[in-house]
Amino acid sequence: MAAPFQNYTGGTFLPDLVTRPEFLSYISEEIFERCAWIQSGVMVRNSALDCRAGGVRVRVPFFQPINPTEEVIESNSTWGTSGAGYLTPQKITADEQIMTIMHRGFSYAVDDLSSLGSGSDPMAAIRSYLTRAILKLRTSTLISQVEGLFDTALADNVVAKCSGATTPDESNYMTAQVFAEARAVLGERGGDITAVAMHSSVYYYLVQVGALTFSSSSLVDGGAIQWGGGGINLRNDDVAYFMGARVIVDDMLEASNAGTTGEYPCFPVYCFGGGVVNEGVQQELRTEVDRNILSKQDVMSLDYHYGMHVMGTTWTSATDNPTNTLLETGSNWALAYQTPKLIPIVQIQVNTPIAATPYA
């Protein structure tokens, strides 16, 4: 018979499950493995942007690309832009980009009666959903930041194809021609585009017209990754590509004109170059748990402190630790490079026949 009033120290307690380094490593690794934005190469860690010593923002100094004035050398005393027979020294200018640090977190509490009443462990269910929840929150923050950038700093990198209130046709959809136009926005750097992110309504139109190619991770003994041409009824769609760019499907890329009466849904599609979004960390994911004996609750909290930076842009607001609403505000961003063509991100605005009904 078990001894009364005894707490067996060899048992498993909540802190044993959610504060151990292995648990945090598992969550971090699962975030890395599941995040399409990371796996596609769009987002990369950049230790130069870390702010572990403290602070509210990271300042990134850089030299502006040079654009020299060429001079004709002659055999006299009046050649050159100086008119005095010598090459005129030119200068390179320096500037800085600013990445703001964001401090985010959330908490859950579960009381004993919820476990007793449901016959299950709600805290265990919460732990099983953590990775997906954190991924959704991080993606929401990234999309807010990108939307803010295209409102001002990258406004010239937009290809607008939406029909508004006019019934859309193929010229308003995501096609190879539209994608080529988007790459052309970057000029000779258009080949830097390696990934394209879109809503599922846009994606399934590309599936419908057979515009995608797929790679499969299903291997046979002694075999290699199998590649297949796009087409109807393809099932090996582990990784999809459109015009050579890896496809990211995310329904958080919602129609920008949602709810506008009489207009057809207009979806943003983002074309990215590899490593264009850099992440800096001030403090990695941290979790803490506690037991409130008076309220009979188990409490768990998580927090993470980081920043995301698109090289060539800068945060101009005097406010740091912004909300997603502030990230979406275009006036809080500015272009640091001399031209947006140097930044391999293009926004395409398209309709899709999969969402073919105008807003009422």
Measured CA to CA in angstroms, residue 71 lies from 67, 80, 350 at distances of 13, 5, 46
Residue scoring higher pLDDT (183 or 92): 183
Whether the pLDDT of residue 16 is over 80: the answer is no
Q: Which of 249, 269, 276 has its CA nearest to residue 189?
A: 276
Rounded to an integer, the average pLDDT of 137-159 is 96
pLDDT at res. 153: 96
Largest CA distance in the chain: 110
pLDDT at res. 129: 85
* Residue located via tokens 């993606």: 139
Measured CA to CA in angstroms, residue 187 lies from 63, 151, 340 at distances of 22, 21, 11
pLDDT at res. 20: 52
User: What confidence category does residue 234 fall into, taking pLDDT thresholds of 50, 70 and 90?
Assistant: very low
pLDDT at res. 219: 42
Rounded to an integer, the average pLDDT of 236-256 is 88
CB-based burial label for 174 (10 Å; 0-12, 13-18, 19+): buried
User: What confidence category does residue 215 fall into, taking pLDDT thresholds of 50, 70 and 90?
Assistant: low
Whether the pLDDT of residue 227 is over 70: the answer is no
Whether the pLDDT of residue 109 is over 70: the answer is yes
pLDDT at res. 225: 41
What is d(CA 310, CA 344) in angstroms, rounded to the nearest whole number? Answer: 10
Whether the pLDDT of residue 26 is over 90: the answer is no
pTM value is 0.80
What is d(CA 291, CA 286) in angstroms, rounded to the nearest whole number? Answer: 18
For 122-133, write each residue's pLDDT tens digit. Answer: 878 887 888 889
- Please tell me which of 8-17, 88-97, 158-167 the model is most confident about, judged by mean pLDDT: 158-167
pLDDT at res. 11: 46
Structural contact between residues 245 and 198, judged by C-beta atoms closer than 8 angstroms: no
Number of neighbours of residue 156 by Cβ within 10 angstroms: 12
Calculate helix-pair angle for 122-151, 21-34, nearest 10 degrees: 50
Q: Which of 239, 244, 207 has its CA nearest to residue 226?
A: 239
Structural contact between residues 305 and 283, judged by C-beta atoms closer than 8 angstroms: yes
For 276-329, write each residue's pLDDT tens digit. Answer: 999 999 998 888 888 888 888 888 899 999 999 999 999 999 999 999 999 999
List, as one string, the DSSP characters of 155-216.
GGGEEE---TTSPP-GGGS--HHHHHHHHHHTGGGGGGEEEEEE-HHHHHHHHHTT--EEEE
Structural contact between residues 351 and 161, judged by C-beta atoms closer than 8 angstroms: yes
pLDDT at res. 22: 58
